[in-house]
Amino acid sequence: MFKKILIANRGEIALRVIRTCKEMGIQTVAVYSTADKESLHVRFADEAVCIGPPASRDSYLKIPNIIAAAEITNADAIHPGYGFLSENADFAETCADHDIKFIGPTAEMIRKMGDKITAKKTMIEAGVPVIPGSEGLLESVEQGKELAKEIGYPVIIKATAGGGGKGMRIIWSERDFQEHWDSARQEAKASFANDGLYMEKFIEEPRHIEVQIVGDQYGQVTHMSERDCSIQRRHQKLVEEAPSPFIDEKVRKKLGDAAIKAAKSINYEGLGTVEFLVDKYKQFYFMEMNTRIQVEHPVTEEVTNFDLLKEQIKIAAAVPITGKKHLPVGHAIECRINAEDPYNDFRPSPGKILELHTSKGYGVRVDTHIFAGYTVPPYYDSMLAKIIVKAPTRDEAIAKMQRALDEFIISGVKTTIPFHKKLMQDEDFRAGNFTTGFLEDFDWKEMT
């Protein structure tokens, strides 16, 4: 097992990693930017190294600084958390070159799944259902128009280097093709320095359902059931739950098998998430694979009773996984509490937290790095906390979330709490009747 892990991240996920390391008897090293000097991850770790000024590119994204911090503290592994360098193949490679274990898959696996066309081709070969569309890159507008006619409108064009909605355009008719093609290409080039585009049939009103995968260094892969992440706004998830209220045992089994197939086809090592789009007929299609621990991992922990960070660290340390079953028990829901003003187009609301009381009680978990007196810096993402509830049924979980939201007291910054309160009262949400388009026409400001 590792003796010392450096956590190349900040905020709640840095704390989450430190907690499990402590429980496993592993020493920890925090890294921090000058903006995070007073943060809890710095205080909770055994050692801490400043890696630069506030801007991410000069600190949490600065590979040489992080490697140097690992070398001077003698860390034998690096946990990248989520975001930042967590899916950066060059970083994984640099770690390996310095004999530091990157806690995650190999650089090769990250690259394969990072390029969406390569990922899709790999899935077709593995026999995992994918969305009908172009075979590889589109060569020209003409070819695009030709293919769209074949597939039938609406179609969607996506950036091969993309993910999370960037460089993506829905096209409803040939008239609009050129315009969307040009803007997608431009956006892809600006965002990823790669303007490669591909095309798919546009699936209307889908669900976003993802499967948690665990693979060890010996080719064994298991899944830990699914999460429903359909409640999103501009590709930012706001609520996640496990299991999905949309699928039954039969579909769950098929989804799980497909996710295992996907991971096995690349000899996947580590924790991963296979994202599917599920249409109204419950047909599912591979969308992307994430090769990191995800923000929403706690809902899976709550229904499977597994510490996912512990599993991830054990796999990286070459421990084989056991054949234990991970069928979901009960229902878990997570609400992301962001420092954003939901009454003002979810504008970021950084600042000093004056007053704080987090929700407590049976079945309630709050993962957070904030405290009264903490100043939320403007440089990083705006998530302050995750409220996670667990109860025997979905209805009970919603009731528990409502009382947990009522108990959460925070002042000094605006938060997404009023939005979540309204959502938990919504008939359609309560009935499990929602798709990824749900928030587009969710009139939540009328709250009483």
CB of 160 to ligand MV4, least distance (A): 12
The whole-angstrom separation of Cα 377 and Cα 380 is: 7
Contact 271, 117 (CB under 8 A): no
Contact 45, 22 (CB under 8 A): no
Contact 205, 437 (CB under 8 A): yes
Beta carbon nearer to ligand MV4, 119 or 384:
119
Beta carbon nearer to ligand MV4, 287 or 417:
287
Beta carbon nearer to ligand MV4, 132 or 348:
132
Catalytic residue chosen out of the listed positions 292, 336, 365, 394: 292
Looking up tokens 């949490």, which residue turns up? 60
Strand pairing report for 77-79 and 101-102: parallel
Selected from 118, 191, 194, 232, the binder of ligand MV4 by CB under 6 A is 232
CB of 201 to ligand MV4, least distance (A): 6
250-309 positions binding ligand MV4, by CB under 6 A: 277, 287-288
Contact 315, 219 (CB under 8 A): no
Beta carbon nearer to ligand MV4, 131 or 398:
131
Is residue 154 reached through a cis peptide bond, with omega within 30 degrees of 0 on the bond before it?
yes
Contact 335, 365 (CB under 8 A): no
Selected from 84, 177, 202, 268, the binder of ligand MV4 by CB under 6 A is 202
Stretch that binds ligand MV4, among 107-115, 190-198, 199-207, 368-376 (CB under 6 A): 199-207
- For residue 212, how many C-alpha atoms fall within 13 Å in the half-sphere facing its CB? 31
Beta carbon nearer to ligand MV4, 159 or 353:
159
Stretch that binds ligand MV4, among 23-31, 140-148, 162-170, 384-392 (CB under 6 A): 162-170
Contact 294, 357 (CB under 8 A): no
The whole-angstrom separation of Cα 342 and Cα 344 is: 5
Residue 203 interacts with ligand MV4 (CB under 6 A)?
yes
CB of 162 to ligand MV4, least distance (A): 7
Residue 119 interacts with ligand MV4 (CB under 6 A)?
no
CB of 305 to ligand MV4, least distance (A): 28
Residue 436 interacts with ligand MV4 (CB under 6 A)?
yes
Q: Which amino acid, 196?
A: G
Contact 122, 168 (CB under 8 A): no
356-375 positions binding ligand MV4, by CB under 6 A: none
**What number of chain residues touch ligand MV4 (CB under 6 A)?**
17
CA dihedral 404, 410, 416, 422 (to 10 degrees): 50
Residue 118, phi then psi, degrees to nearest 5: -60, -45
Selected from 195, 200, 269, 296, the binder of ligand MV4 by CB under 6 A is 200
Residue 27 interacts with ligand MV4 (CB under 6 A)?
no
The whole-angstrom separation of Cα 157 and Cα 169 is: 5
Residue 163 interacts with ligand MV4 (CB under 6 A)?
yes
User: Is 175 a known active-site residue?
Assistant: no
Contact 305, 325 (CB under 8 A): no
Beta carbon nearer to ligand MV4, 95 or 287:
287
Which of the residues are catalytic?
292
Using CB under 6 A, list all residues that contact ligand MV4: 131, 156, 163-165, 200-203, 206, 208, 232, 235, 277, 287-288, 436
